[in-house]
Each structure stands twice: as C-alpha cells, then as structure tokens.
Amino acid sequence: MLAATSGAELIDGKAFAEALRARIGERAAAFAQYAGRRPGLAVVLVGEDPASQVYVGAKAKACEAAGIASFEHRLSADTSEAALLSLVERLNQDEAVDGILVQMPLPQGLDEQAIIAAINPDKDVDGFHVINAGRLSVGQEGFIPCTPLGCMMLLKDRLGDLSGLDAVVIGRSNIVGKPMAQLLVDANATVTIAHSRTKNLADIVRRADIVVAAVGRPEMIRGDWIKPGATVIDVGINRLPPEEGKERGRLVGDVAFAESRDVAGAITPVPGGVGPMTIAVLLRNTLVAAHHHAGMPVPEGL
C-alpha cells in the first residue's frame, strides 16, 4: 500500500498492517467457531524493562482486537533460569496455547539461547528457534521472524515479482538481517548481505534495486547512496538526542529519510512503516500455529 509524497512513494506499513489484522480477525473468528476455542498466544515478560512492558501491552491489545486469547506471564527480574524453563515447558504442553513468545532482552544471568531452544519449534511464533531458522534456510515450512516477513509482504505488495532484482540487506542479525536475506533469495532476488564493516558500503548500496536497512545506526544510509527508483525498507528505529527545549528526541530510521525519498522510487517512513507490520505478523504466525495445532489447513490471505 502506497501513499503519495514528494519524490518517492510512501510505503504505508500502518495501513497494510491494519488490513492484515482485519483478515486475521475474520479468520480467527472462523477458527474459534470450528475449534471451540480462540487461538492462543502466551507472552512471557521477565523483569521490568520499560520498552518491553510497552511492547507486551501492545501485543496483548492487538491479540484481543483480533480475537486471539492472550496469556500473559509477568515474572520478577530475579526469576531463576530453571523457573523460566519450567514455565516454558508448561506452555509447551498447554493445549490452549498455540504460540509462545518470551520477550527479549532477558535480565542479566538468563541464557536467551537456552530459553529460545526450550520453546517447542511449532509454537515458536517469533521464529527464533534454530529449527525454524534451519527450516527457512532449506526451504521447508516453518515460522519466520516477524519483522523480515513483514518486510517481505511490503516488498511483494510494492513490486510483485522480485526475480532478478539486486537486493542489499544492511545488517546481519539472526532476527532480521539473515532471515531477510534468505527470504529475498527464495524470491529469486540477487542478494548481498552488508554491515557496518563492509568496505565501499555506499557503492554496494548504489547498485541495489531493493535496500533493506537493519543496522541499528541512525540515518547511516545517506540519500546519495540510493539508486534512483530503488525501493527502500527501513527497519531501524532510533531516538535522537532531544533538541533544545524538548523532552524527547525524534524517532529516525537507519536511512536518512528526507534525502533518500528524493531519489528512491518508494520508501518506508519511521515511524509508520515496518513497525506496525511486526505485531501484525506475530498475530498471523499465531493464527497459523493454531491451524496447524488443530490439524486444519491454513486459510488463504495470510
């Protein structure tokens, strides 16, 4: 979904996510009528990280709005790893729970990889489990991390067939960069994974038809790096220092937006671009997990 702006078209992730959530709501209602229960997502929050509390609250509201049952488990920061693993195992066995999400980051002293590994891969709606990463890498069906899958939805909505396009992914995290690159390869794009230490990064970006920026550095990608007409997906969300007289600095992406939209063919804003897609795809993954759990075919439109 695109909205007109000066220069590049604006890829409206908020509108796309709202439409996806509406479809999820319809299909969740149909699932509940057939299965006799709502799809269920368990969210585990350990500690009192302010950003994590906001995210968990937003996920709970989104679940309820979509007709998905939300089971919140809030644990103190001094929770032991054994206690957390025990909770994950109970959720693995709980027939009302289709998806499990352990909010990251965890407090110091808890092994994030051990916790992720304990989640049943078929309930791993975050797509972080090594089995789901392996499924993605060999083309098998599995859960894909929400942010890159949301980015791919926006790209296909904008461009249709990605075959033969030159794509650059800036960032190599297990959560965004690597799965994003794999999705683009699977869509028959020619893909380069770059990062902050890549030599001649600007020159590499300049040849790309698709740029996905997920490096975590505010406005690192400059406008003169962008190939005219390219599609730019900005995953970054960074808060700048506050200007004089203001309490909070403005939010910016990893791409210098004002410069880049004069060159690009289409670009996601920050905020309002990729961000809304992440929760929408989490709901989508939970609904898919519910259908698998109930032995039902996954409905179209997800």
Q: For the chain, which residues make up each domain, given as ranges?
A: 36-121, 145-276
36-121 CATH choice from 3.40.50.970, 3.30.450.20, 3.40.30.10, 3.40.50.10860: 3.40.50.10860
Query: What pLDDT is attached to residue 2?
Result: 52
Q: Do domains 36-121 and 145-276 have the same CATH topology?
A: yes
Query: What pLDDT is attached to residue 246?
Result: 80
In which residue ranges of the chain is pLDDT below 70?
Answer: 1-6
The single residue of 98, 103, 124, 178 carrying the catalytic annotation is 103
The single residue of 59, 123, 178, 227 carrying the catalytic annotation is 59
Query: What pLDDT is attached to residue 5?
Result: 44
Is 246 noted as a catalytic residue in this protein?
Answer: no
Query: What pLDDT is attached to residue 16?
Result: 97
Q: Does the predicted model carry a pTM greater than 0.85?
A: yes
Is 103 noted as a catalytic residue in this protein?
Answer: yes
CATH class of 145-276: alpha beta
Query: What pLDDT is attached to residue 4?
Result: 43
Query: What pLDDT is attached to residue 265?
Result: 98
The single residue of 98, 124, 126, 234 carrying the catalytic annotation is 126
Is 254 noted as a catalytic residue in this protein?
Answer: no
Decide if 168 contacts 192 (C-beta within 8 A).
yes
